[in-house]
A and B are shown apart, each in its own frame.
Chain A
Amino acid sequence: MPAPTDSGCSDRDLHPTTFFSPPLRSSANNAAGTPKPMGWCLMIKRLMVANRAEIASRVFRTCRLLGIETVAIHSDADAGLPYVGEADHAVHLPGNTPAETYLDVDAVLAAAKAAGADAIHPGYGFLSENAAFARAVEAAGLIWVGPTPESIEQMGSKIGAKDLMRAAGVPVLEAPAEPTEADLPLLVKASAGGGGRGMRIVRALADLPGEIATAEAEAASAFGDGTVFVEPYVENSRHVEVQVVGDGRGDVVVFGERDCSIQRRHQKVVEEAPAPGISEAVRAALHEAARNAAAAVDYRGAGTVEFLYDPATGRFFFLEMNTRLQVEHPVSELVHDVDLVALQIAVAEGGSLPSAQASAGHAIEVRLYAEDPAADYQPQSGTLTMIDFPGQPGIRVDSGYQSGSSVSTHYDAMLAKVIAHAPTREQAARRLAAALARAKIHGLVTNRDMLVAVLRDPAFLAGEVHTAFLEGHHTDPPTHPGQGDAAVAAALALAERTRERRTVQRGIPVAYRNVVSQPQVTDFEDGAGRELRVEWFGGRDGYTVEGLTVVDAAVELVTLEREGLRTSYEVRVQGHDPDDVHRDIHRDIRCDVDWPGGHLALAVKPRFVDPADAVATGSLLAPMPGTVISVDVEAGQSVEAGQTVLVLEAMKMQHRVNAPASGTVTEIDVKPGDQVAAGAVLAVVSTGSTNEEMQ
C-alpha cells in the first residue's frame, strides 16, 4: 500500500483520458457511453466510500471496472458485511451509532487519510448531502464525488430551493399564507428532512398548530434543524422524479424519469422507470423542468429532481432536488444502459458527459427491507441466515448483505434492492415478482410478500399507482397455498436430520413402532404466531401423512404429492445449534421452507419447557432490541387494558408497550435507559381474573 501523502493528492497526475461507462444492464446490445475523447482531467486512484452496505458495494463495482482502488469504512457492527471484504482496503470506525461512525466528519476524513484515498464517494444518506463535509473533503485535497457544496446548500433548504426553482420557471407547490378549510388537506414537512421523516398530514385546521409543533420537535431532534413548512397535500398524488447528471459547467443530461409512488410511511418501496401513464408532452415538460432546475445551479454530478404529479390534472410541482445518487438509480441505469456511478466519477475527474441513450424497455426496483409490514413495518434485526436470489437474466440484485450477515438495529433495515428489466412494464413486474417469490430469504421477517403482492396487484399492473397505494393493503402476511404441506415437509426434514444424528440404532426406520398407537407430532409456530401441528407416522415403508404421498424425504429436500400433484420443498434448519434438534430444549430452532408456491418460516416448538424458563402469563416482552425511554407505571399500580406501561426506542422509532389486559402491575424489570434484548421480560401485569380463579 503506498504511503499516504500529506495532502492526499500530491501524487495525483494529470492524464489525457477517455472514460467508458460499463453497461449495467444484462441485455447489453449497444455499447453505452461511447468512448469520447476528453481533455486533461484528474485521475482518481483510490476512492473511499463514506457509506456502508449496498451502496458501498455498488460504487466499488464500478470502481473495479474502472481500475480504481477501493476503500471501505465500517463500524463495529458492520465489520462482517460483504462490502468490507469487497473493498481493497478497509478502515474501522470504532462505535456503532451513526454519530460516532458514518456521520463523524473528522473520523471519516481521518480514515480517508489513513487509507491514502484521493477521492470520497458519499453514497446516499449519511454525509451525502452535507455541504460542510463536502467542503472539508475538498479542503483536505480530496476529490469529492458529488455536487459542489454550494449546490448542496442551495437545494438543501426546501424553502430556499423552492424560491430558486420559482425563479427558474419550474412549477412549485405554493404554500397558502393563511390556510383555510379549502386548502385542506395540508402537509407539514421538515425543511431539512428527507425520506419521509418529519412529515405530517393535517386534515383539520384545528390540528395544524399542534402538528407543526410536533413536527418541529421531531425535526429538531432528528436533523438538528427545527424548520418546517406547510404545503398543500395532493390526494392520490404521484411521486415522479427525474434523473439528471451535470458536468458542473452548465451541461445537464437527463436520464429519464422514475415513478416512486408506492410508498409506505412516506418511504419509497417500489420504483420504476419510465413512469407509467404519463403523456409524452408531460414527460418532455418534466425533463425540461428538471434540466432547468439543475442548470440553474450549474449542477455537477448525479442528482434527482422530485416532482409531485397530480394525475387528475396532469400538473406537476417541484418538490425538492436530491443532490446525491438515489437509492433507486438502477432503474434509470437499466432503461438507459448507463452507469451513473461511472458518470459521477467522470465529472468529478473533470470529464464531460455523453448524451443520454433513448429509454429502452421498463425497469422496476423494489426495496427489500427487514421489517414486518403486519406489525406497522417494525424493523427486524438478527441474523439473515440466507439471502439468495435466483440468478437469471433481466434481474439485478444490489445487496448489502449475504447469507449469515447480521442485521443490526443501528442503521436502515434495507437488505437489498432487486431490479427487473424487461421490454414492457407488465413483463418486468412479472419477472420481478417471480424472482422475489422464489428468493430464499431466511432468518428475518421481510416485506418480500408485500412487494410480491404489489407487483401482482391488478391496480399496480394497470398503472394505478399513487402514494397512498399501500394504506391498508398487502400488509398482512399472506397464506400461501400449500402452507400446511410445507409444514409437513419441515417436520419430515427435521425427522431426517434427527435420524442422521442418531448415535444408536442407526439403521432403524424413523419412529419405528411394532405396536402403533399414535402419530408422531411436530409442533411449529409461524411468524404470525399461528400454531401448526404436523402428525406423521414413520416405520417400515417410510413416512406416512394423511392425504399426502411422501415421495422422498431428505434433510434439505422433501417431495410430497397431493392429489396427483407433486411438489418439492426445500427446507433449511437454523438455530442455536441445529445439530441439537433431537434434544428437548430446541433452543430457538427454526425451519425455513421454500417451494415454488411460497415460503414459510417456522419456529419449532420444543417438546418440553423447563418451568424455570417459562414466562409468567401477563409478561410484557420487548418486541425488539432497544432502549427503555420511560416507564409510565409503578409496581402495584392498577392498569387498564391498552394503557401504556413503558416506551421503548429502537431503530429511531418509539414503541409503546401496553398492558395486554386490565390488572395490576406486579413486576417491573427495567428502568429508563436500560438496553433490552428482543423477548426480554419488561414487566408483568397480573389480571384480576387469574386471582379469582385461584380462590
Chain B
Amino acid sequence: MTNRAAMLDKLASLDEEHALAVLGGGEKYVARHHERGKLLPRERIELLIDEGSAFLELSPLAGWGSDFAVGASVVTGIGVIEGVECMITANDPTVKGGASNPWTVKKIFRASQIAEENGLPSVSLVESGGADLPTQKEIFIPGGKLFRDITRASARKQPTIALVFGNSTAGGAYVPGMSDYTVMVKEQAKVFLGGPPLVKMATGEESDDESLGGAEMHARTSGLADYLAEDERDAIRIGRRIVARLNWRKATAPPAHDWAEPDADPDELLDLIPTDLKEPFDPREVIARICDGVSATNGAVFDEFKPLYGPSLVVGWAKLHGRPIGILANAQGVLFSEEAQKATQFVQLANQTDTPLLFLHNTTGYMVGKDYEQGGIIKHGAMMINAISNSTVPHLSVIMGASYGAGNYGMNGRAFDPRFLFTWPSAKSAVMGPAQLAGVLEIVAQQSAEAKGQPFDAEGFKAIKEVVEAQIEEQSMPYFLSGMLYDDGVIDPRDTRTILGICLSVIENMPYAGTDRFGVFRP
C-alpha cells in the first residue's frame, strides 16, 4: 500500500468520524428538531459567521471512545463575525437535549482557554437541558469554572454574548446571567433557576414556564434579556449586530496579502508520511508544502539555523500567510544532547525577536544509553523543556507522526499549553511505542520472576503482551487522544497550512512578546 493510499484510507475514516459528530443525536432527533422549526447548532453557526468566511471547529471528536456521543453535545470553534474572530460555542440539543456530560465540560473549558489566551470575544448559542445527571459528580464541582470563565473574560475586556434558543435553566441560567449581552428567542428561550415543579415543591407557588423564564418576561420584566428576538434567525442577526458594535481592534495588524502560496504542492503531503512510523521522513518537505513560497516579500522558503549541528532536529525561519514563524521539526526521530541544545538556543532566539514557533512532531523521544546519559542527555533535555515551558511567544504544534516519551514534552506537547495543537491521522502518541512498551513489560516481569526465584512463563506472558500491545496501540491513536481532548482536532495534512494560517491570525487578537526570563539552565 502506498503512503498516499494509506493516508487516504485514514482520511476517509476521519470523515466518517466527523460525520458522526455532525449527526449529533442521530437522524431521528435531528428530524424532530427541524420539525419544531429549529436550527441545528452548525446551522446556527453557519448563519452567525460572515458569508464565505472560515469556521475552524475545535475538538470535534471530543468524547470519542467514551459512552457519550462523539462531539460531546456541543460544537466549539473559531468563526469570523462581522470581521471579528470569535470563539463560538453551540449546544447540540439533539444530543440528550444538549445536556452537558464530562466531555462537554472539558470541551467548553478548552474553548474558554483558547478564547482567553488569544483574547477572543465569545458567543454562546445556548440550548441545553443542563447537566447529565448520572455523571453529575464529574461535572458539578469543576463545572463552576464555566461561569467563572465567562465573567473573567468580561473583566479582561473579552466580551461575552449569549444567544438563548431554548432551555437554559438551573445552573445553565448563569450562562446568559454572566454574559455581557443576552439575546433570547421569543417563545423558545426558557431561563430560570427552578421550573414550575421545583417552585411548587419549594414554596407551593403555582407558576408556568413563561412567567418564570420566558423571553418576553426577561426582556420586559426581569431585564435579564437585553434583546428579544422574533425567531432564531433574528437572534443570530442581533448577535451579529452586537459583535459589529464591539469596536474590536486586533493587537497586531494582519500582514499585507502579498504572500505566495507554497512552492511545492501541498497535495503531496499525502505521499510523504511513511505507513511505518519507524521510517523517518524529511520535515523540510513538509515545510515546503505548508510555508509561503518565494516572493518579493519572502526571499527564501526556509532559512535553516545550525544545519550542521544536531541534524536530527531541523530548526529555522519561514513565513506562513505572510507571518514570520520559527519552526522546530524532528528529522530523525531521536533527540540527542546536540538537538536539545540547538532547540534551546532557537527558542531563545525566537523570544528575542517575538517570533511565534511551530513544532512539527515526529519524535521517538530523547536518546537512551550509557553514553548519552553520561553525556548529559537529561540536563540537555531539561534545558529544552525549560525553554519551551517559559517561552512566551505563541506556540503551535502539529503531531505529524510519532510523539513519544519526553520528546512529546520537549516538542511542546499538550501539557505545555501550545496555543493550538493539531494531529495528523498518521500520528501516534504515548510514553513509548506499543511494541517497546510490551517488550519493556516482559523484561520487567521476567526480572521480577527471576528475583523471586520463580520460573518465567514466556509462553503465558505472550498473551498478556499482545493484549497490552493492542491496548497501547489503540490508546496511541489520534481519535482516542482527540477524544480525550489531548489535541484540538485531527486534521487533513493538506489543510495544515490553512489551519495554521487561521491560528496565526487568531493569535493576533492578543499582544504577545518574547521573554528573556527562563528557568535556571544547566548547560
Contact = CB atoms under 8 A, between A and B. Distances in A.
Most chain B CB within a 10 A radius of its CB, from A499, A509, A515, A520: A515
A689 interface: no
Nearest to A510: B52
B16 interface: no
A658 B46 CA distance: 40
Contacts of B491: 514
Interface string B174-192: 0000000000000000000
Nearest to B54: A512
A671 interface: no
A505 B237 contact: no
Interface residues of B, number: 43
Interface string B460-504: 000000000000000000000000000001011011001101100
Interface string A514-527: 11111010000000
B498 A540 contact: yes
B53 A502 contact: yes
A46 B472 CA distance: 99
A517 B42 contact: yes
B56 interface: yes
A511 B240 CA distance: 18
Listed residue (A495, A505, A506) with the most chain B CB atoms within 10 angstroms of its CB = A505
A581 B50 CA distance: 10
B52 A582 contact: yes
Contacts of A514: 56-57, 60, 489, 491-492, 495, 499
Interface stretch (B94-102, B228-236, B338-346): B228-236
Contacts of A502: 50, 53, 80, 83
Contacts of A506: 254, 257, 321
A505 B42 contact: no
Contacts of B492: 514, 540
B498 A508 contact: yes
Interface in B27-55: 40, 42-43, 46-47, 50-55
A540 B21 contact: no
A515 B54 CA distance: 11
A611 interface: yes
B277 to A, nearest CB: 23
A644 interface: no
A518 B57 CA distance: 14
Contacts, number: 104
A511 B237 contact: no
Nearest to B17: A515
Contacts of A481: none
A435 B83 CA distance: 43
B414 interface: no
A540 B51 contact: no
Contact of A505 (B234, B236, B502): B502
Contacts of A516: 18, 22
A505 B80 contact: yes
A608 B234 contact: yes
Contact of A504 (B80, B230, B494): B80
A499 B60 CA distance: 26
Nearest to A519: B46
Of B43, B50, B250, B494, most A-chain CB atoms within 10 Å: B50
A608 B236 contact: yes
A509 B498 contact: yes
A538 B495 CA distance: 13
Contacts of A538: 52
A611 B83 CA distance: 24
A499 B43 CA distance: 21
A513 B54 contact: yes
A314 interface: no
Interface residues of A, number: 30
B257 A495 contact: no
A495 B85 CA distance: 19
B214 interface: no
A520 B52 contact: yes
Contacts of B18: 515-516
A608 B244 CA distance: 15
A504 B248 CA distance: 12
Interface string A584-613: 100000000000000000000001101100
A607 B51 contact: yes
B446 interface: no
B505 interface: yes
B322 interface: yes
A610 B52 contact: no
A515 B502 contact: no
B85 A504 contact: yes
B83 to A, nearest CB: 5
Given A499-B52, A511-B53, A518 B499 contact: no
A515 B240 CA distance: 22
Given A514-B491, A540-B498, A607-B47, A509 B54 contact: yes
B302 interface: no
A611 B232 CA distance: 12
Contacts of B40: 517
A29 interface: no
Given A505-B80, A608-B233, A517 B22 contact: yes
B259 interface: yes
Contacts of A607: 47, 51, 233, 237
Interface string A479-501: 00000000000000001001100
A695 B43 CA distance: 32
A391 interface: no
Contact of A507 (B57, B234, B240, B321): B321
Contacts of A513: 54-55, 57
- Lowest 5 CB-CB distances: which A-B pairs, in order? A608-B237, A512-B54, A517-B42, A515-B57, A498-B52
26 contacts: A495-B51, A499-B52, A502-B50, A502-B53, A504-B505, A505-B85, A507-B321, A512-B54, A512-B495, A513-B57, A514-B489, A514-B491, A514-B492, A514-B495, A515-B22, A515-B60, A516-B18, A516-B22, A538-B52, A582-B51, A582-B52, A607-B51, A607-B233, A608-B47, A608-B233, A611-B230
Given A507-B321, A607-B233, A608-B236, 20 more contacts: A498-B51, A502-B53, A503-B83, A503-B254, A505-B54, A505-B85, A506-B254, A507-B259, A508-B498, A509-B498, A512-B54, A512-B56, A513-B55, A514-B60, A514-B495, A515-B18, A518-B42, A607-B237, A608-B237, A608-B240
